[in-house]
Amino acid sequence: MKLRLFAALGGLTLVMAGCDPTVESILKGNHSLRKLVERSETQSHASGGFFFVVGSYEANTKTQMLVKFAWQMNDGVYAISSLPLEKIRVRLDNTVKTPTIEFHSDYGDVSTSSDLQVIIDRFVNYAVITCREADWPVKIQMPLNQ
């Protein structure tokens, strides 16, 4: 009887541990990529305050290049996420059949958020995309002698 109770409690502990994922369990490994696009995103912020005829107004705009991609998570489901362009690194390997992405992150507890994009923004330091050279077109536009 004690053995059954111990086994049941052990199984319950494993099930409960599986309910609280870690960043490592979500992001670890190589993940297949299905779609990758680059786009710019503009964020604007304005604030101001007025009292009678005296006041102040401040506005700023920030444009950031983002890479949006669909990637296969460890449970087999595809997710759509994004990272700033400067956090993307590319490894060219002509032997790969399917492009992959590998996240390099600070592992931790994600119980504070269930939103995958928040987890990626908070924990991912950079990501390495591995693909064939033909799948990564070179579009270098540099101002020469300007």
| Structural domain contains residue 8 | no
This prediction has a pTM of: 0.66
| Structural domain contains residue 9 | no
| Structural domain contains residue 103 | yes
What is the spatial distance between Cα 51 and Cα 36, in angstroms, rounded to a whole number?
49
**Residues of the domain holding 56:** 19-135
pLDDT in tens, 15-33: 334 445 677 888 899 999 9
| Structural domain contains residue 145 | no
Q: In the chain, how many domains are there?
A: 1
Mean pLDDT of 45-60: 67
Whole-number pLDDT of residue 5: 39
| Structural domain contains residue 81 | yes
| Structural domain contains residue 58 | yes
Find out whether 136 and 92 touch, Cβ atoms under 8 Å.
yes
| Structural domain contains residue 63 | yes
For 58-89, give the DSSP string: EEEEEEEEEEEEEEE-TTS-EEEEEEEGGGEE
Higher pLDDT, 3 or 112: 112
| Structural domain contains residue 79 | yes
pLDDT in tens, 84-104: 999 999 999 999 999 999 999
Whole-number pLDDT of residue 11: 39
Provide, for the chain, the percentages of residues in helix, strand and coil under a 3-state DSSP scheme, each rounded to the nearest 5: 25, 45, 25
Whole-number pLDDT of residue 106: 78
